[in-house]
Amino acid sequence: MVTIRDAVKEDLPSILSIYNEAIRTLTATFDLEEQTLEQRAVWFAKYGGKYPLIVAELEGEVVGYSCLSSFREKPAYSKTVEVSIYISSEKRGHGIGNALMSAILDRARELQYHTVIGGITGDNEASVRLHEKFGFFLAGRFREVGYKFDAWRDVCFYQLMLES
């Protein structure tokens, strides 16, 4: 059974492993070089409070994570956040994305956010399906804004309006 909980510093090696795997194998992130534990610790320090970071744990192992991040820095954007979800390749397709998305959207509602944005690479059909399942709609597409794995990549922005 999958357990969803707040991330703690001890989860960083697992989070780093999941993220570095995505850097190496997926277009879900436009980072091109694997990160170090020190870099991920700086990233981790940005979370907590109004920007939750949660993990999915299966049989004592962190197999995925999700977070809400600032969408833009200007104060008028303070009720809008961007969602990210990453899952270990060995555990994709087993409902972990659903569990993480459900939990992080619950947190977004608790924190009284108005809009949640998901930036999804144009060819990431699994992520599109996950977002659409939770009510996100396509708000726009930026063509060829990232270059990874010897090809230009589109980024589609999906949006979910939370009830006020």
**Neighbour-count burial of 25, counting CB atoms closer than 10 A to its CB (0-12 exposed, 13-18 middle, 19+ buried):** exposed
How many Å apart are CA 23 and CA 162, to the nearest integer? 30
Number of domains in the chain: 1
pLDDT at 163: 80
- Identify the band that residue 93 occupies on the pLDDT scale cut at 50, 70 and 90: confident
- Return mean pLDDT, the chain: 96
Average pLDDT over residues 151-158: 98
For residue 164, pLDDT over 70 is answered with: no
Domain membership of residue 9 as a residue range: 2-161
What is the C-alpha to C-alpha distance for residues 13 and 1, in angstroms, rounded to an integer?
22
Q: Please, what sign has the CA dihedral across residues 146, 150, 152, 155? A: negative
CATH of the domain at 144: 3.40.630.30
Total-model pTM: 0.95
What number is the average pLDDT over the span 19-30?
96
